[in-house]
Structure formats: structure tokens, C-alpha cells
């Protein structure tokens, strides 16, 4: 990340962006926003409605101005086709092409990517916005459109009496076949179903006939907090329960998962813990920090301090909404430090590392990284990273372990920032460049699974009884 006095990344010099003051103020302001709670009362079921977010007039205008921006910056003649016919072959006959050379691709099964139309063209980042990794990161966070979707929420009670929230697409329980593939989405730190990158992936998967559910960690996206314990990069218990719950509800379906940032770290750790017993059929990891020690080192350098403070504000905002639950805690807890944390490290030192039994925050980071889990992954896993990601450093990617594991694939883009990837047909306001690739990969694995098991599947069964779930609270949201 930072080398000497300039802020840059390995093999990709990023221009220093300390002058982006307005973006900084916006980023900090977002972290202070809070929303009403979604309470969970014991094991009772109670319907309740959550207030819908006020539509932004800017979002509507993006659809109108996006084509003009694209035509201005990317003339039609410069737009690369999704595939190229072989001039020496017959008319209209196309030949398979490997992913374009602008991408770093690694993994034993990288050949399967040759069939992906979305990977044949050069990675072409949107001009101006991609000139600086911080500009791209902040633009995507605040200017990307937010697709409208009606969600139905389940609050799932954990064995320790905690709770997480699952947001399903409303009506899908009736609209989709009982054996439709299920996709679980894991947002990043403090993220949830209202984040733009989550919504875009949800909409794309749903348009392909997939059943989609967003896993909101404790306290995130109004997920209730019922015990003095949030979540951490190391804790996979809640994800394990969510996956078991989804499999119990849809036993005829293949279940997949996509995680971003911290959600990706948790997901990959889970895959490594489950090894060959993993019930998932496939997974995708995006913007994974992989090595939290390295990520923490870079988090305190240059402009990255802005992200650090913003995420700390988001964490403390969630904490303060539930501060009464943490009153009277004894032992090594430093509640004032967590409540007034100015950095993520402060919050983790005061609360997270104690809640999950680590000796120090450094012990927490070194033992919560997902880089060591890659070697134990036994299901298809696609990892997509940006070489200039300011929060998930490129040097932390476990490239050799990914290459050595026949189940893993890696794609590294030259640009993208963190959760940005402002590129592709829908740039600058639409979905991230990664979404079509993620969906092509998941559909490939799903077709592969169906092909290998078609002789054992009974297509005559049209319904299956749902498992009893008395520990749920259900309400309609957004």
C-alpha cells in the first residue's frame, strides 16, 4: 500500500487523493446514519413494517444521464464487442477465447472461463472515475443506483440467544419452483440489504430464476441485537446456522453464497472449516482482505485513514443504539473505548476481540484471516479482487494456495478500488463489472451440478414440506 510518501498499490501506482475533501465528508456522514431497530421478542412471531427508504431523485436521473456519459467518454467505435468472430472461419462462427490479457487469472480450472462472454473483452474502467482508486471507491459507494425491491424479513435466533436477519425477495416463496437454486449474499463490514452492490447482485440473480436471501449480521441493516455480542471476522457460527436453515427449508435446491469484503473473509473461513463436508454447491469471494494483519497495516496509511474513521463511526453508531445491553460487562471489556472508537482497531480492541476470546487485537487479526483457509476449500470457489483495492491489498492475496487448490479460481482486475469496479456495460451508475462474471460462474456450476446428478433427481416432485421454524420473527420490509 503506502510506499515512502506516496499512496500506491503493488504494480499499480495510484494517484494520491488527499484532496478529495467533499467525498470524505460524504463518507463520514454515511457512517453516522442509523435506522430503526427490528426487534426480536423471545421466540414469538410478530408482524411489523419497516419504513421504506426515501427514493433519491439522483438515482432516477442516473438512468437518463448514464447513456450520455458513456457516449461522451466511450465513443461507440471504442466500445469492445463481447466476443469476436474468427475471420478465417465461416461467417458467424465464433471461437472460444481465453479471458482478456488485462486480467490476472489463476487456478487449475481457469480454462472454463474461456466460455464466459463477459471476460473476453478488455477490462475497461470508466474514464476519470477510475483514474484514482479512492475516487472510484467513493463514487461507487454514493453514486451507484439502488434498485428497488420488496423484501421479506426473517429474524433467526442463534443458540446463544443472539439474532440475525434474513431478507428474502417478497413473493418468491410462491413465484419460484421449490427446487430453484438459492443464493445467500454476505455484505461487508456494517453492510446489509440496503447496500447498492448487494441489491444489484440480488436483482441479477433473481432475474435468472434464483432464490436470493441477504444475510444481515447482528446489528446490521436493522438486524436486532439481543446479546452483548456482535460479529467478527473469525466467527462463522451465524453463517453456519443460516446455511443449515436455508438447506432445511429448501432441501431440493443447490445452495450457493457470495460474500464481499469482511463477508467474503467469513465465507472463505467457513468453507475452510467445513472442508469436504461443506453443504454449499459453490461460492464467490469479492474484495476479500484475506490477511487481516496486512489489511490493518495499510488501513492506517494516507487516505485510508478516512475509510478507517468512517467504518469506526458506523460500528459505534450500531453500538450506541444497543449500549444498554453492554452495561455492566466485566473482565477485559473496554466499553468506553468501543463506544468512542475513532478507528476499527480501537473498536476491536475494546469489544470484538474480548467477545470472541482473543488475547489482543493483533491476536484477533492474525487468527481471523481467511488466507490460511484456501488450502482446505473443497467446493468450487471464485475469488475476484482489484489490484488497486485500498482496503483489501493485492499483496495479501494467497495466490499460490489458490493455484494449488483445484477447486479455486482467481481473477484480479487492474483497477476497481474497493467494492467499486465502475466498468462494463452499465457503468458508471449501474451494477459493478463483477456481477455478470459472478452470475456466469454460478450458472456454470449449477449446470454442472445438474448434469452430474440428473439421473438421481426426481422431476415429478413439485412440492416439499417446509421444516418447522418456531424461532423466527417475520415481517415485511422495504
Catalytic residues: 261, 389, 418
Q: Under 8 Å CB-to-CB from 47, ≥6 apart: which residues? A: 474, 475, 476
Backbone phi, psi, residue 204, to 5°: -65, -45
Question: How would DSSP label each residue in 101-138?
Answer: TTSEEESTTGGGGGG-GGGTS---BPTTGGGSHHHHHH
Alpha helices in 34-100 (DSSP H): 57-73
Which of 206, 225, 213 minimizes the C-alpha distance to 249?
Answer: 213
Spatial distance between the Cα atoms of 243 and 215, rounded to a whole number of angstroms: 10
Identify the three-state secondary structure at position 156: strand
Closest CA to 117 of 140, 92, 95: 95
Segment (H or E) for 257: strand 255-260
| Cα gap 214→153, rounded to integer Å | 9
CB 421 within 8 A of CB 140: yes
> Is the bond leading into 428 cis (omega within 30 degrees of zero)?
yes
Using CA atoms, how far apart are residues 137 and 247, in angstroms rounded to an integer? 35
Amino acid at each position: 500500500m503506502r510506499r515512502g510518501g506516496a499512496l500506491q498499490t503493488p504494480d499499480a501506482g495510484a494517484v494520491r487523493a488527499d484532496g478529495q475533501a467533499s467525498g470524505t465528508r460524504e463518507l463520514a456522514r454515511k457512517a453516522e446514519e442509523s435506522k430503526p431497530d427490528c426487534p426480536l421478542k423471545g421466540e414469538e412471531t410478530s408482524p411489523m413494517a419497516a419504513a421504506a427508504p426515501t427514493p433519491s431523485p439522483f438515482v432516477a436521473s442516473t438512468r437518463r444521464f448514464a447513456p450520455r456519459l458513456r457516449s461522451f467518454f466511450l465513443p461507440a467505435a471504442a466500445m469492445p464487442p463481447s466476443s469476436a468472430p474468427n475471420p478465417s472461419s465461416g461467417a458467424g462462427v465464433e471461437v472460444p477465447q481465453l479471458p482478456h490479457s488485462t486480467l490476472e487469472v489463476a487456478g487449475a480450472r481457469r480454462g472454463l472461463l474461456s466460455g464466459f462472454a463477459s471476460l473476453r473483452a478488455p477490462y475497461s474502467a470508466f474514464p476519470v472515475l477510475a483514474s484514482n482508486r479512492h475516487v472510484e471507491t467513493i463514487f461507487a459507494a454514493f453514486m451507484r443506483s439502488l434498485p428497488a425491491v420488496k423484501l421479506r424479513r426473517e429474524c433467526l435466533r442463534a443458540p446463544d440467544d443472539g439474532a440475525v436477519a434474513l431478507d428474502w425477495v417478497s413473493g418468491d416463496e410462491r413465484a419460484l419452483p421449490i427446487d430453484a437454486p438459492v443464493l445467500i449474499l454476505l455484505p461487508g463490514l456494517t453492510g446489509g440489504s440496503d447496500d447498492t452492490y448487494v441489491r444489484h447482485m440480488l436483482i441479477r440473480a433473481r432475474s435468472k430464476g434464483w432464490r436470493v436471501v441477504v444475510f444481515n449480521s447482528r446489528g446490521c441493516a436493522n438486524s436486532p441485537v439481543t446479546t452483548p455480542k456482535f460479529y467478527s471476522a473469525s466467527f462463522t457460527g451465524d453463517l453456519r446456522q443460516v446455511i443449515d436453515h436455508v438447506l432445511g427449508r429448501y432441501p431440493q435446491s443447490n445452495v450457493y453464497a457470495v460474500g464481499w469484503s469482511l463477508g467474503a473473509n467469513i465465507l472463505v473461513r467457513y468453507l475452510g472449516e467445513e472442508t469436504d463436508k461443506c453443504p454449499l454447491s459453490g461460492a464467490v469471494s469479492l474484495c476479500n482482505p484475506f490477511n487481516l494483519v496486512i489489511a490493518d497495516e495499510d488501513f492506517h496509511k494516507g487516505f485510508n485513514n478516512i475509510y478507517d474513521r468512517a467504518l469506526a463511526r458506523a460500528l459505534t453508531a450500531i453500538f450506541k443504539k444497543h449500549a444498554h445491553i453492554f452495561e455492566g460487562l466485566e473482565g477485559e471489556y473496554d466499553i468506553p473505548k468501543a463506544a468512542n472508537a475513532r478507528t476499527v482497531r480501537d473498536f476491536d480492541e475494546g469489544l470484538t476481540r474480548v467477545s470472541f476470546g482473543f488475547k489482543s487485537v493483533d491476536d484477533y487479526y492474525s487468527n481471523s484471516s481467511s488466507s490460511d483457509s484456501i488450502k482446505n476449500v473443497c467446493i468450487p470457489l471464485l475469488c475476484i479482487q482489484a489490484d488497486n483495492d485500498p482496503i483489501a491489498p493485492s499483496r495479501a492475496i494467497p495466490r499460490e494456495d489458490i493455484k494449488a487448490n483445484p477447486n479455486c479460481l482467481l481473477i484480479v482486475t487492474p483497477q476497481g478500488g474497493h467494492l467499486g469496479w465502475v466498468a462494463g456495460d452499465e457503468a458508471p451508475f449501474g451494477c459493478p463489472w463483477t456481477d455478470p462474471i459472478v452470475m456466469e460462474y454460478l450458472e456454470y456450476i449449477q449446470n454442472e451440478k445438474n448434469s452430474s446428478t440428473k439421473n438421481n433427481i426426481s422431476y415429478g416432485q413439485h412440492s416439499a414440506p417446509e421444516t418447522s421454524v418456531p424461532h423466527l420473527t417475520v415481517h415485511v420490509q422495504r
